[in-house]
Structure 1
């Protein structure tokens, strides 16, 4: 493991704990090294590889789009365990260039290292609760490595599933779920007899494992049905509308079970459920147009959702830390936000780029501040170093402070809004869900 990779693994692990409110890593493989090709879904662009690299136990080498390997970044990318993969749109001789890369992959797997590749190939602009067809490349790569070493070492392949409640929002949640390892050596005789058939078979097996690791809806037409049912029941894997007292694992499992029921039972002939889906879409679209958050509609049943006591307590108790965090973090946050939203046209990149850019700018911006404080106010330089590493925590407190202030304003405003029509419609939808969907 290269030192820069280790530094990123430790520091990004801390960053994720500040960015996300809750997270789970399920079924993590215990070995740091294991000659395994990890194949992941790709719901969140840059966030996915750095999350797997920092939160999962195994140490990986990343297969990365070749167009990011500009000359001045190559040393950093090499230090971060990244290998280029060339696509047809990347210019001439992609086959020859990939051949050289695959030789490095074969050598890495032979030496016990792990490879991470994203089987879907790209990230959708609109979040989905599904999985696009997994490409054959990772499996082909594994068997190619075995052939290159004459099947002398065991090489494995394993699916990974990443699920976000909201991929770009600070304070959201995620689950990183690891599938079982598949030993490719077990297919030796079948592969030597018919390589294409075995590659297809193993790819389908990996794809099925990946589906089992996420909240998976097979038909894209049913994405909104799942999402809206989760919002109405408040038991599912939705960020703005969920019951925070339910553990994340239970919400994740509930959502997977609900998705499986939809896959098995909802067809184009399911008239009552399709009518329900249409009405759910209309209800939440109306809320969006009227700028009404669904938590205020259910506030009569759950008055804690509009209670401001906890918000006020946070403001009263945390203001000194929030001011300090504001001084250290506001300017880096604003610069990272403005630059990212200007240069990144696709919003799917915003969360990861803002986090990484804010981390970089904040690290540089705060060095002279810490040096000044250490020289004039702190008794020893070690306290300055400790303070420097506390800055991200203080910034997160200041961010939350601003959020609590806005929450008080919003709750006060919504107390005077008549939501009776929404309440009636929501009650009807909830009743229909309970009648039609037994697992809801």
Structure 2
């Protein structure tokens, strides 16, 4: 995980880290990486994770997944398992709660890369209420909603945001459940949806999703300055993009006009080979010079890391990732395969160096390999920023168009 993301930004975890038993619920955008995120953050609670059963087809996969606390859930659309098997899984979940353990479930029931929350499934409510009902609502089951936001879903060395909302207890719904279980299930599901939505970028205007995603990217540099919710950049972006959407829905003619301008702007960016994730502010020759000097210091480490990691990277990128069309699997596969491949590869490198050098020196050299790799990733990150800064220096009219669009949107939402 540390070699997959530049920064992992977490807020709100202190609220729930001592709450047990706990049912975690979250949006689901990035295959099994979403589960690994909680495993990394919640080291003190070792969460169990409900995942779709089709990844357990292999006997060896089932053993490996069980070791890392993954539990299969059988879905009708996968044509696997049965109701009886799911009942056994639910009993296993109830037993975990009785022992003060934690469980993560993704209420959407499937993953998708788009930044919005899809319809909630019935599973979390059923598990929560049946667990409490079995224990006369004395279990004390906590529910901890959180939101995940990937600055880039498939690519390495972008930021990952994990934001936890306020936890609540299932027994809060006891009276409603005793009167009408169906209503209690609905209220519970509505609450987790609302709480998860508040902790992620949830673009609510689905019909104009691609356009609103462009608006989000355009306003990102200004989000923390303009938004009232300054808890994080994610909360600020979520507030602004939905505020813009609300205003544009009221004025279809203005929507089409602004939509055309923004689409032209991003097409212009693409035609000049600018990366929208690394758009830089206006710079000068002196700034470009110092940024270039900084990159020159990182260049030797970049070359060394590329040579050192050539074999595992070739296996991962050319033999595995290249054959996977669904990009939401890319970062998960990189992380999962690297977890096993790199330690083996570095051990082999250590043994080779031991025969050539002193074993202590060999150990020191191999120990530097991951550190050099981090410098490589950081050098690539700043190279993209420098490339954008240089192109914008040559094409100042792009920045001018950007400022005009920003001014127009700012006036639209009453910020100027």
TM-score tier (shorter): 0.7 to 0.9
User: How large is the Cα RMSD of the aligned pairs?
Assistant: 3.2
The 1:415/1:91 distance shift into structure 2, 3 A limit, reads closer
Q: 1:364 aligns with which of 344, 349, 366?
A: 344
When structure 1 is superposed on structure 2, of 83-92 and 190-199 the one drifting more is: 83-92
2-structure distance, mates of 1:90, 1:296: 40
Q: 2:49 aligns with which of 51, 62, 83?
A: 62
Q: 1:101 aligns with which of 73, 82, 89?
A: 89
The 1:398/1:263 distance shift into structure 2, 3 A limit, reads closer
Q: Which residue of 1 aligns with 2:30?
A: 44
Q: Which residue of 1 aligns with 2:107?
A: 119
2-structure distance, mates of 1:384, 1:229: 51
Please report how far the alpha carbon of residue 284 of structure 1 lies from its aligned counterpart in structure 2 after TM superposition. Answer: 0.8
Q: Which residue of 2 aligns with 1:9?
A: none
Q: Which runs of 5+ in 2 are unaligned?
A: none
Contact 2:145-2:165 within 8 A present in 1 as well: yes
Q: 2:68 aligns with which of 65, 75, 80?
A: 80
Please report how far the alpha carbon of residue 183 of structure 1 lies from its aligned counterpart in structure 2 after TM superposition. Answer: 0.9
Q: Which residue of 1 aligns with 2:78?
A: 90
Q: Which runs of 5+ in 1 are unaligned?
A: 1-14
Contact 1:85-1:101 within 8 A present in 2 as well: yes
How do 1:182-201 residues align onto structure 2 when only pairs under 5 Å count?
182-201=168-187
Normalising by structure 2, what TM-score?
A: 0.86
Q: Which residue of 2 aligns with 1:180?
A: 166
2-structure distance, mates of 1:304, 1:34: 56
Please state whether the residue corresponding to 1:83 is helix, strand or coil.
strand
Q: Which residue of 2 aligns with 1:307?
A: 288
Q: 2:372 aligns with which of 389, 394, 405?
A: 394
The 1:364/1:311 distance shift into structure 2, 3 A limit, reads farther
Please report how far the alpha carbon of residue 234 of structure 1 lies from its aligned counterpart in structure 2 after TM superposition. Answer: 4.7
Q: 1:344 aligns with which of 303, 324, 337?
A: 324
How do 1:221-240 residues align onto structure 2 when only pairs under 5 Å count?
221-235=207-221
Q: Which residue of 2 aligns with 1:7?
A: none
Please report how far the alpha carbon of residue 144 of structure 1 lies from its aligned counterpart in structure 2 after TM superposition. Answer: 1.0
Please state whether the residue corresponding to 1:132 is helix, strand or coil.
coil
Contact 1:139-1:202 within 8 A present in 2 as well: yes
2-structure distance, mates of 1:271, 1:210: 33
Please report how far the alpha carbon of residue 287 of structure 1 lies from its aligned counterpart in structure 2 after TM superposition. Answer: 2.7
Please report how far the alpha carbon of residue 99 of structure 1 lies from its aligned counterpart in structure 2 after TM superposition. Answer: 0.9
Please state whether the residue corresponding to 2:221 is helix, strand or coil.
coil
| Alignment pair present for 1:148 and 2:130 | no
Contact 1:159-1:209 within 8 A present in 2 as well: yes
CA-to-aligned-CA distance 1:295-344 (integer Å, 9 cap, x gap)? 99876x3338971433333323662x445433431221121011233442
Q: Which residue of 1 aligns with 2:260?
A: 278
The 1:393/1:438 distance shift into structure 2, 3 A limit, reads farther
The 1:93/1:427 distance shift into structure 2, 3 A limit, reads closer
Please report how far the alpha carbon of residue 432 of structure 1 lies from its aligned counterpart in structure 2 after TM superposition. Answer: 1.4
CA-to-aligned-CA distance 1:344-403 (integer Å, 9 cap, x gap)? 2211111121222233222211212112324542353xx655654543222232344456
Please report how far the alpha carbon of residue 62 of structure 1 lies from its aligned counterpart in structure 2 after TM superposition. Answer: 0.6
The 1:96/1:387 distance shift into structure 2, 3 A limit, reads farther
Please state whether the residue corresponding to 1:38 is helix, strand or coil.
strand
The 1:202/1:370 distance shift into structure 2, 3 A limit, reads same
Q: Which residue of 2 aligns with 1:215?
A: 201
Normalising by structure 1, what TM-score?
A: 0.82
CA-to-aligned-CA distance 1:259-297 (integer Å, 9 cap, x gap)? 342354342535324421332123213432453446998
1-structure distance, mates of 2:298, 2:401: 40
Please report how far the alpha carbon of residue 431 of structure 1 lies from its aligned counterpart in structure 2 after TM superposition. Answer: 2.7
Q: 2:239 aligns with which of 236, 244, 257?
A: 257
How many residues matched? Answer: 409
Contact 1:32-1:59 within 8 A present in 2 as well: no
Please state whether the residue corresponding to 1:72 is helix, strand or coil.
helix
CA-to-aligned-CA distance 1:135-168 (integer Å, 9 cap, x gap)? 1210111111122333332112221100111122
2-structure distance, mates of 1:308, 1:330: 31
Contact 1:315-1:405 within 8 A present in 2 as well: no
Q: 2:297 aligns with which of 316, 319, 326?
A: 316
Please report how far the alpha carbon of residue 217 of structure 1 lies from its aligned counterpart in structure 2 after TM superposition. Answer: 2.1
The 1:32/1:205 distance shift into structure 2, 3 A limit, reads same
